[in-house]
Structure 1
Amino acid sequence: MNCPRCHKPLAAVEVAGLEVDLCRDCEGVWFDGDELAAVMESQKDALKDSPVAKTWEGIERKSDNPGTAVLDCPRCGAKLERYRYQSSAPAIIDGCAKGCGVWLDDGELKKVYEHWAHSILPPTGDEKALFMEAYAKLEGERQRKEKAFVENLTTMDDQPGMKGRAGKVLQKVYESFYKLGLR
């Protein structure tokens, strides 16, 4: 299966007991079917008669300025719909109308988690631990990719006429921007 954003192959990784598909290039994550909801709704049975049950029903198809659908579902090829993950969440995610799954771009998993962690009903310790494990694993992948990119900048020194300067200069510039959060 290929990434809907950059079309590179997705890597199957196990996160919190689920197999999700990670793009190692653009760092987006594909959750099949109800996998994202499964993580978010682990206490649904206890909440089904509660006034806050709707908060835990997973993804609403409510869109607040979601933008135009530009991505194709990596499973069925249909256009992914852009919508807000629950009405008050800051994350706008892409989902297949046929129910194949949802795509979260780099950074959106954190927004979903932060919304979830600060919702009306706080998560239990086990729920929070599962989600933190998923986030930590995906963040670790992003950091490894970032480090490899910076280290590979020095290969520019092998180019004729560079005399060992270009890669080191680019590496320092990139590290400075990275430390400032301007990546």
Structure 2
Amino acid sequence: MNCRNCGGALRLDSGREALACDFCHTLVYPEPNEEGVRVFEAGTGEMCPVCRQELRHASYLGKRLGYCTKCLGMLLDLDSFGALVQIVRARRDRIPEPPRPLDPMELERVIDCPRCHQRMDTHPYAGPGNIVIDNCPDCRLNWLDHNELRRVTTAPDTQLNPDAWFAP
């Protein structure tokens, strides 16, 4: 992609959700899609573990991720996943949705890590939302299918009951 002002090549700006021109210092912020994800044209070099299309560099609420424009899945490092869950939950402006029952068939899925190509661990997510999550412990990556982040962040909060720790 080239700069609209000078025609120079744009590069991903590592500190922003933007493309930057090194010649005229213009910043280009792609419009977020309907999910709020800013998708850049540049590919990550990693393939989607579900549909085998090259993932695109993208960002969501300031966190970088790989994004599949076909199945709408997201590849996030573990730190970004945790931070996004906190950010989105803090911004939640609607009544929490009840978690859906877990589909045990989802645990049978086998997908490979887009980075190291080893089998990802497939297991129920320990947080609210009742989703099955795929992660690579070696690469510290999570794969989220379409709407899984929404299901986690719109689930009811779990509150610790301090009285439960003391015997009557």
State the TM-score, normalizing by the size of structure 2. Answer: 0.52
1:84-121 deviation digits (Å, cap 9, x = unpaired): 12155311111113243000111212211112xx2135
Which secondary structure does the structure 2 equivalent of 1:5 belong to?
coil
1:28 maps onto 2:73 in alignment = yes
Would you say the 8 A contact 2:128–2:152 is kept in 1?
no
- Segments of 5+ residues of structure 2 without an aligned counterpart are 1-45, 88-101, 160-168
**Alignment map for 1:140-179 (pairs within 5 Å):** none
Query: Could you tell me whether the CA contact under 8 Å between 2:128 and 2:157 is conserved in 1?
Result: no
Matches within 5 A, 1:73-152: 73-86=113-126, 88-115=128-155, 118-120=156-158
Structure 1 residues 119 and 90 mapped into 2: Cα distance closer, same or farther (>3 Å)? same
Quick check: which one's helix share is greater? 1
Code of the aligned partner of 2:68: C
Whichever residue aligns with residue 111 of structure 1, its letter is R
Contact 1:33 / 1:99 at 8 angstroms: preserved in 2? no
| Aligned-residue CA RMSD (Å) | 2.3
- Higher normalized strand content (fraction of residues): 2
Identity %: 28
Length, aligned pairs only: 99
1:32-58 CA distance string (max 9 Å, x none): 23210122356xxxxxxxxxxxxxxxx
Moved beyond 3 Å, runs of 4+:
63-66
- Aligned mates of 2:111, 2:85 — CA distance in 1: 24
Partner of 2:48: 3
- Structure 1 spans left out of the alignment, 5+ residues: 43-62, 122-183
Name the SS for the 1:38 alignment partner: helix
Cα displacement string for residues 148-183 of structure 1 (whole angstroms, at most 9, x for unaligned residues): xxxxxxxxxxxxxxxxxxxxxxxxxxxxxxxxxxxx
**Which of 98, 102, 107 is the matching residue for 1:67?**
107
